[in-house]
Structure 1
Amino acid sequence: MSVVQSCFRRIPYLVRDIDVFRISSFRLLSSTSAKFSSHGQEKKLFTPGPLSVSLTVRQAALRDLGSRDVEFISTVKFLRSKLVQIAGVSEDDFTAVPVQGSGTFAVEAVFHTALPKPKGKALILENGAYGKRMGKICETLGIPFRLEGFAENSMVDVNKVEQILREDPSFTMVAVVHCETSSGVINPVEEVGQMVKKHLPNCVYFVDAMSSFGAVPIDLERAKVDFLVSSVNKCLQGIPGFSYAIVKTEQLLQCKGNSGSLCLDLYDQYDGLEKTGQFRFTPPTHCMLAFCQAIKEFEEEGDIVGRANRYKENRRILQEGMKKLGFEEFLGPEHKGYIITSYKFPNDPNFDFKTFYSKLNEKGLVIYPGKVLNADCFRIGTIGQLFPEDFHTLLSCIKEVCKEMNIKLPVS
């Protein structure tokens, strides 16, 4: 065969290889452009989630392990044990049950598992979007419930809870969000739990600690919590992929057969993990490897106290800087949360949130729109892989953007 004939015979393969290269390059560029700002730097996420995480956490995910691999089974066991330790309770009394999916998957799993049909009845204490979401879950599942609303800028009123429980002792679950991230309110979950168990000792007490666990201390024993849920991509700074429930084991063992869902049955998930060490269905292997590194970095920072101190300092810098710029917080000074802060839109005809957001985004800084219903707000998170220098940068950029938009400073 001549050289020319050989070349012609190779053309289809060359075209194929070029196509593969072109597609791979496009995917790489698309992925890169999604992660980086126009300045070529990674974006900083000043949000309640997904959060910025360390490079070392992301690198830890770059390994392939089978779900039945001995190392992976050991990894799952390690993480379950660590989560109970972080919760500050004994593994003799509590267990951790990981669930594939976002935090809402774990929330729904608790309602499925802890409330038997048709006898279950939930009291949901809400003062924001995530409490309302609990109500939506119960409505969808056909679970009888009462949604007791409180003002979005106030904490759940413990006295009101007591009044409700006195008037109606038929509830089998009381549920509340610890940090309501639509506003930033921290609810008094310990006081609520004590009140619940005082009046209804057999009632399940469920705390959604999605955005607080790992940075805002909760005494689960004092609060008499039966079920607590959170997600890896919050204060423990793992990458998104799974959530978990930390459960009083004795309570969970009573839930066999309750769930109307196969996937979201916490009892069945727990039973499988205890018997085989394995997930019932394909686990998020890469996310769990990354979470091992995230836990290591959490401990190196000083556990809950160390992480809380950094977040508090982030919040202090943000609070002082935004006050100087004239921005007003949605919550009053009695609220001491340091997870996320809601700011009211300034009263300036040149302010437009979409423009404000886009200009900050172009500088590699991502904030969140508001989620409260009775005020126009935007939100700035102080958790994740963010440090005081990041907030000095954010404040400088907010000042620049306001000037670009001809917004008078300090804003009114």
Structure 2
Amino acid sequence: MFADKMILRIPGPTPIPPRVQQAMNQPMIGHRSGQFSALFARTAERLKPYFGTSQDVFILAGSGTSALEMSVVNTLQPGEEAAILVSGAFGERFAKICERFGVVAHRLEVPWGKAVTPDLLQAFLADKPQVKAVFATYCETSTGVLNPIRELAQVVRQHSDALFIVDAVSCLGAVACEMDAWGVDIVVTGSQKAFMLPTGLAFLAASERAWQVIDQKKPLAFYLDLKAYRKSLAENTTPYTPAVSLVFGLDEVCSMLEEEGLPAIIKRHEVMRDMTRAAMRALNVPLMAEDAYASPTVTSCDPQGAFDAEELRKVLRTRHNIVIAGGQQHLKGKIFRIGHMGYCEPLDVLQVIAAIELSLRQIGAPVELGAGVKAAQEVLLAHV
């Protein structure tokens, strides 16, 4: 095998297109130069369609978690109450951030693998009139669940005065997001998922309603002061040193996304999801998420003791140079997760499915070679 031909099929970081790598290799420029200001303003504007907003999109040097924290420290104060929708590891992360800053976090928890439904949220909010913000995870990376953000936003609007704040780190740029039309107040994401970049950039957009709250608050952080980013963006720059090379890459990513078009991008991810799920069913590998809430960007599978998930991952990595993800927290060692987002297309999905079939046979699992590939091919044929 070629040592440098490792195939990454985890839910982030995702593979980087060669043309994006080349863009990031451009000679460094001054981060306060007119050249960078023009680049920065252009890329910030080009991000708006993926958020579904006419509001400014802020770009900061940091991982997706920095934007999660930014959404907390600019909208809440110690002692205020928030509702956190927890359907996996990253919903829990929102709760931990809130608690770190003294916010009272009310957790609405559902079993891992399930989605938070509008009815559950409505009942949860009924006796919590003091809640100032509701935090939700669009795609719960740890389980492969896509929560129904549009419907959840309607519940928040109709049954509370809270802001609705959404972590879209592992799906924005691959799924529909209509922040303005749906009534979402803050959406955050990161660069290393569907945006096909290395880790290191975070993006955030806020509604007019959110700004009315932010403008009345003293931010609980220095670097993550959103008002400072708004002031700088008006001058086509950032308050602190930007990741210049990553912004070069982001500009090229925007070109790639625009060339394909958002409807086609969304469709491609849906097809890859359906191919993966059809293949796992054909191989008798149980899926964690229900069809109605299955993410187009990551599929989680639970062997339920039929075979060792970690042994499968090891064989894929050591014999076939393919890396898939394992479980997190209490699911560590029990499940495996297949990423299919960003610089990934249906033929890449066929490759990983074929390798999974081989690996399952190599660890002694009773699978029929070709069954998963055939099921995935049938899905693809219906869409080409």
- Provide the TM-score with structure 2 as the length reference: 0.89
Contact 2:83 2:134 in 1 (8 A): yes
The answer to whether structure 1 residue 84 and structure 2 residue 48 are counterparts is yes
The answer to whether structure 1 residue 308 and structure 2 residue 266 are counterparts is yes
Give, in whole Å, the separation in 1 of the partners of 2:34 and 2:208. Answer: 25
The structural deviation recorded for 1:47 is 1.2
Q: Secondary structure at the match of 1:146?
A: strand
Structure 1 unaligned residues grouped into runs of 5+: 1-37
Give the partner amino acid of 1:392.
L
Give, in whole Å, the separation in 2 of the partners of 1:50 and 1:311. Answer: 16
Give the partner amino acid of 1:140.
R
Q: 2:76 aligns with which of 115, 125, 131?
A: 115
Larger radius of gyration: 1
Q: 1:391 aligns with which of 349, 352, 360?
A: 349
- Return closer, same or farther for 1:399/1:112 CA change in 2, 3 Å cut-off: same
The answer to whether structure 1 residue 400 and structure 2 residue 358 are counterparts is yes
Which position in structure 1 is the counterpart of 2:119?
159
The structural deviation recorded for 1:40 is 4.1
- Return closer, same or farther for 1:399/1:161 CA change in 2, 3 Å cut-off: closer
Which position in structure 2 is the counterpart of 1:228?
187
The answer to whether structure 1 residue 62 and structure 2 residue 25 are counterparts is yes
Q: 1:185 aligns with which of 145, 166, 172?
A: 145
Give, in whole Å, the separation in 2 of the partners of 1:100 and 1:150. Answer: 33
Equivalent residues in 2 for 1:332-371, closer than 5 Å: 332-345=290-303, 347-348=305-306, 351-362=307-318, 363-371=320-328
Mean CA deviation greater in 77-86 or 60-69: 77-86
Contact 1:128 1:372 in 2 (8 A): no
Give, in whole Å, the separation in 2 of the partners of 1:378 and 1:243. Answer: 26
- Return closer, same or farther for 1:315/1:262 CA change in 2, 3 Å cut-off: same
Give the partner amino acid of 2:57.
A
- Return closer, same or farther for 1:97/1:235 CA change in 2, 3 Å cut-off: same
Give, in whole Å, the separation in 2 of the partners of 1:191 and 1:317. Answer: 26
Give, in whole Å, the separation in 2 of the partners of 1:356 and 1:383. Answer: 21
Give, in whole Å, the separation in 1 of the partners of 2:295 and 2:213. Answer: 35
Give the partner amino acid of 1:238.
L
Which position in structure 1 is the counterpart of 2:282?
324
Q: CA-to-partner distance for each residue in 1:95-148, whole Å, 9 max, x for gaps?
A: 111121110110011100011344x32111111110001111112111122111
Contact 1:326 1:410 in 2 (8 A): no
Which position in structure 1 is the counterpart of 2:166?
207
Q: Secondary structure at the match of 1:198?
A: helix
Give, in whole Å, the separation in 1 of the partners of 2:293 and 2:233. Answer: 40
- Return closer, same or farther for 1:208/1:137 CA change in 2, 3 Å cut-off: same
Give, in whole Å, the separation in 2 of the partners of 1:374 and 1:281. Answer: 38
The CA RMSD measured in Å over matched residues stands at: 2.0
Give, in whole Å, the separation in 1 of the partners of 2:90 and 2:224. Answer: 19
Give, in whole Å, the separation in 2 of the partners of 1:196 and 1:86. Answer: 22
The structural deviation recorded for 1:372 is 6.7
Give the partner amino acid of 1:208.
D
The structural deviation recorded for 1:200 is 2.3
The structural deviation recorded for 1:77 is 0.9
The structural deviation recorded for 1:371 is 2.8
Q: Secondary structure at the match of 1:334?
A: helix
Give, in whole Å, the separation in 2 of the partners of 1:209 and 1:79. Answer: 19
Which position in structure 1 is the counterpart of 2:378?
none
The structural deviation recorded for 1:355 is 3.0
Contact 1:253 1:267 in 2 (8 A): no
The answer to whether structure 1 residue 170 and structure 2 residue 130 are counterparts is yes
Which position in structure 1 is the counterpart of 2:178?
219
Which position in structure 1 is the counterpart of 2:375?
none
- Provide the TM-score with structure 1 as the length reference: 0.83
After the TM superposition, list the runs of 4 or more consecutive aligned residues in structure 1 that deviate by more than 6 angstroms. Answer: none
Give the partner amino acid of 1:377.
I
Which position in structure 1 is the counterpart of 2:205?
246
Q: 1:379 aligns with which of 316, 337, 353?
A: 337
The answer to whether structure 1 residue 102 and structure 2 residue 102 are counterparts is no
The answer to whether structure 1 residue 196 and structure 2 residue 152 are counterparts is no
Give, in whole Å, the separation in 2 of the partners of 1:271 and 1:295. Answer: 24
What's the % identity of the aligned pairs? 25
The structural deviation recorded for 1:216 is 1.3
Q: Secondary structure at the match of 1:114?
A: coil
Q: CA-to-partner distance for each residue in 1:370-389, whole Å, 9 max, x for gaps?
A: 23746921100111211222
- Return closer, same or farther for 1:85/1:312 CA change in 2, 3 Å cut-off: closer
Which position in structure 1 is the counterpart of 2:380?
none
The answer to whether structure 1 residue 73 and structure 2 residue 73 are counterparts is no
Give the partner amino acid of 1:218.
C
Give, in whole Å, the separation in 2 of the partners of 1:333 and 1:144. Answer: 34
Give, in whole Å, the separation in 2 of the partners of 1:353 and 1:272. Answer: 48
Which position in structure 1 is the counterpart of 2:222?
262
Give the partner amino acid of 1:196.
V
Structure 2 unaligned residues grouped into runs of 5+: 370-384
Give, in whole Å, the separation in 1 of the partners of 2:309 and 2:231. Answer: 48
Q: CA-to-partner distance for each residue in 1:171-229, whole Å, 9 max, x for gaps?
A: 1111111111111111121122122122223x211011111211211222332111110
Contact 1:330 1:377 in 2 (8 A): no
Mean CA deviation greater in 242-251 or 70-79: 242-251
The structural deviation recorded for 1:253 is 5.3
